[in-house]
A = this chain, B = another copy of it.
Amino acid sequence: MAFPQRVKMSDVARTAGVSVATVSKVVNGRYGVAQATVERVRQVIHQLGYEASLGAQSLRSHRTNVLGILVSEFEPFSTELLKGASREVAGTGYQLLAYSGGDGDGAGIGWERRSLARLSGTLIDGAVIVTPTVVETRQGFHVVAVDPHTGPSGLPTVDSDNFTGAMLATNYLLSLGHRRIAHLSGRPDLESARLREAGFRKAMADAGVPVDERLVRVGGFRVESAAATAAELLALADRPTAVFAGNDLSAISTMDVARSMGLAVPDDLSVIGFDNVPESALVNPPLTTIAQPLQRMGAEAMRLLIDVIGGVERDPHVRLPTELVIRASCAAYPPPPRPGRPVPAATAGDAPPITGG
């Protein structure tokens, strides 16, 4: 058997001695084809290894049984969602197509609009879009957003309880005795970033600790921008003793910056993150963070999308709980007396139980 070029429907038709229309009917299980013909065509399809072209098929039929998940790039956050999405989609008859539409520099505002425009209407029956940069609804196409943009949008969404999570993080730092706590906030356009900052402020207020506004700065959720901001923060004369980073990537970035400035984590600086991507456990020291159930979020998003497509009546917003994961990047302040280390004159903060979620 020679290497076939791409085998198309017309090849099958010719070989089976029928028209392409008949082959199409067989492929799509339409009624009105003689049993014998069906068998023969099936036979040929198998023998030739024919598979319908997604492009041509969807161009015509607007139905593909393929669901899209649109991300800016494949990084730890989105790939965790992907794992959950993949699991949820298995066995539903849908296939998953993940599309990375960003420019790679993260500056690609509007990537999701472009990606959506390129793929919707053809290729995919619906899409979940991850941390979109703009709000836009398009009629007649099914979309659900994970970790949505700020502001009202008609979209179905799935996110986690960012506000409570942020309070958890802040309270933990407070319970360790920290008072000069910085917040490296995320992408200002994302609702999640806004809520994390709000939770931070609420926890501080509840504890009666005033927020030093110079310690609240945009980190932008990305490595480079977070590193720049972290550097500013740590260069301050009265630098913070702890930082609550908007996400794990920023937290890890902050730890790197601290190290390069000669500061030890957690001895000289406590750092807490948000997300609990697998990478957060792999760094040194392992990162204390707020866990979002990332894989479950991906799965819920797919479930929601499938339900929306299927016209199922249901709550179009799902919010999942967050929880504190204590590892090793946070320490008590002031540090307990150690041999050879001067002891600050304050009393150590005690550690009341942490609750929430």
CA distance A136 to B124 in the complex (A): 27
Question: Is A59 within 8 A of B55, CB to CB?
Answer: yes
Residue in B closest to A122 when the chains form the complex, CB atoms: B55
Check if A54 is an interface residue, CB within 8 A of chain B: yes
Residue of B nearest to A298 (CB): B74
Complex contacts, A278 vs chain B, CB 8 Å:
278-279, 281-282
B-chain residues with CB within 8 Å of residue A24 when the two chains form the complex:
none
Chain B residue at minimum C-beta to C-beta distance from A101? B95
A264 to B9, CA, bound (A): 58
Quote the shortest CB–CB distance from A221 to chain B (angstroms). Answer: 16
Q: Are A89 and B117 in contact (CB under 8 A)?
A: no
Q: Look across to chain B and name the residue whose beta carbon is closest to the beta carbon of A91.
A: B104
Q: Is the CB of B118 within 8 A of A52?
A: yes
Assembly stoichiometry (copies): 2
Which of A15-23, A80-88, A125-133, A182-190 forms part of the interface with chain B?
A80-88
Among the listed B50, B76, B113, B123, which residue makes an inter-chain contact with A55, where contact means beta carbons less than 8 Å apart?
Answer: B123
Contact with B along A173-217 (1 / 0, CB 8 A): 000000000000000000000000000000000000000000000
The reply to whether A98 and B101 form a contact with Cβ atoms under 8 Å apart is: no
Question: Would B59 and A86 count as touching, CB distance under 8 A?
Answer: no
Contact yes or no, B86 A53, CB < 8 A: no
Check: A27 CB closer than 8 A to any chain B CB.
Answer: no
* Complex interface bits, A128-161 against B, C-beta within 8 A gives 1, otherwise 0: 0000000001111100000000000000000000
Chain B: minimal CB distance from A192 (Å): 21
The answer on a CB contact under 8 Å between B89 and A104 is yes
Given contacts A50-B117, A82-B74, contact A98 B95 (CB under 8 A): no
Question: By the criterion CB–CB under 8 Å, are B49 and A113 in contact?
Answer: yes
What are 15 A-B contacts with C-beta separation under 8 Å? A5-B138, A5-B139, A51-B117, A54-B118, A74-B86, A75-B83, A82-B82, A82-B98, A90-B102, A90-B103, A91-B103, A97-B99, A123-B123, A278-B278, A281-B282
- Give 11 A-B pairs besides A6-B138, A53-B122, A55-B122 with Cβ atoms closer than 8 angstroms: A3-B139, A6-B117, A50-B117, A51-B114, A53-B121, A54-B118, A55-B56, A74-B86, A79-B82, A89-B104, A97-B99
